[in-house]
A = this chain, B = another copy of it.
């Protein structure tokens, strides 16, 4: 994705779905390191009310970006900016004029996670002169940034935008983890929190899958320890990481019905050489997913946000899950996808049951597995309208 922005600082005119930038200063990390001179990229939709009470924070998943829905950049904007603004977003239909999150009423903000590659400071960002006079990309020097760290950065963005508290904090998958972390880290700044297809902490299995994805990238000879920016990018490793992840995002049922054991086109999976046989259709599908991601995402960013997901644990340093959640005072919406086999519905149950005022988990029905959280926007819209007074 080409990042087309309108400059930094607080927004003055309404430009929905246009990337903007905010300096949030040096970020002290949980590890004790400091990431200097951090920028957050973000997009907004709608207008912030005078009392600042109508703000909604939407947070993306692992390889997501700031473009949660289409918008408009205005007639005077450059063509590329207009096109980028008008492109459909990754939660199209959930957010917009008249949608469940109605941008005629609410002011929606969607920031890019720290470490990402959609405008926020990440491993491909040139290090500031204070850290590297040559201003080379961070690369291998980029620190581990936890979900909690990124929430701290986002709190500064809220400060800069004049938002004391969010009417609603909402995210799916890793974005759901970020939403939960927001509610626990800044309970006084979150009035409703919607956690979709996510849990209170990355599970052992997610750590295991996470390791395989990181290794897929690190073992690519072009990875060069993370400092590949002057050379060939480790697209094969990134593609393999994506394939592994993508299988966990879907369901075996879907793969069976869409692809079965069919060969891809005229290719012959039967050989004759094991090393050079044709592909099954499901392999072609994974190849497509891999090259799509490799064409739009930075491998180091993948590593860093993958590590962030692995770091996710709202209980870290806060006792039991119940104790960690005791400090929260928001209304909670917990949503699980029934066929999810990466963020199991039982993780959603664990979160819902440990709340100060336990809620019932709402289920999105989907044959697709985890990605149902992105696909089933109608169901999700209905759940949000049912559960969040005012929507």
Chain A interface residues (CB < 8 Å from chain B) = 29-33, 115, 123, 140-146, 201-205, 207-209, 211-212, 215-216, 218-221, 225-226, 236-237, 240, 243-244, 247, 252, 255-256, 258-261, 269-275, 277, 280, 282-283, 286, 303-304, 307, 310-311, 313, 341, 344
Contacts and interface: CB of A to CB of B under 8 A. Distances in A.
A146 B270 contact: yes
B283 A303 contact: no
Contact of A270 (B144, B202, B344): B144
Given A141-B273, A203-B255, A269-B310, 18 more contacts: A30-B271, A33-B271, A115-B274, A142-B274, A143-B272, A143-B273, A144-B272, A144-B277, A204-B260, A205-B252, A207-B280, A211-B243, A211-B280, A215-B243, A216-B216, A216-B219, A219-B220, A226-B275
A141 B252 CA distance: 33
Contact of A240 (B115, B123, B219, B273): B219
A263 B236 CA distance: 30
Closest 9 CB pairs of A and B: A144-B271, A31-B271, A204-B255, A31-B272, A205-B252, A221-B221, A33-B272, A144-B274, A204-B259
A7 to B, nearest CB: 30
- How many copies the complex holds: the figure is 2
Contacts of A215: 236, 240, 243
A270 B277 CA distance: 43
Given A205-B247, A286-B208, A29 B272 contact: yes
A201 to B, nearest CB: 6
Contacts of A140: 273, 275
Contact of A204 (B237, B269, B282): B282
A144 B212 CA distance: 27
A226 B274 CA distance: 10
Contacts of A143: 271-274
Contacts of A204: 252, 255-256, 258-261, 280, 282
A219 B207 contact: no
A274 B208 CA distance: 16
A258 to B, nearest CB: 8
Contacts of A261: 201-204, 207, 313
B219 A31 contact: no
21 contacts: A30-B271, A31-B270, A31-B272, A32-B272, A123-B274, A140-B273, A142-B274, A143-B274, A144-B272, A145-B274, A203-B255, A204-B255, A208-B247, A208-B255, A211-B280, A212-B243, A216-B216, A244-B244, A252-B344, A270-B311, A277-B307
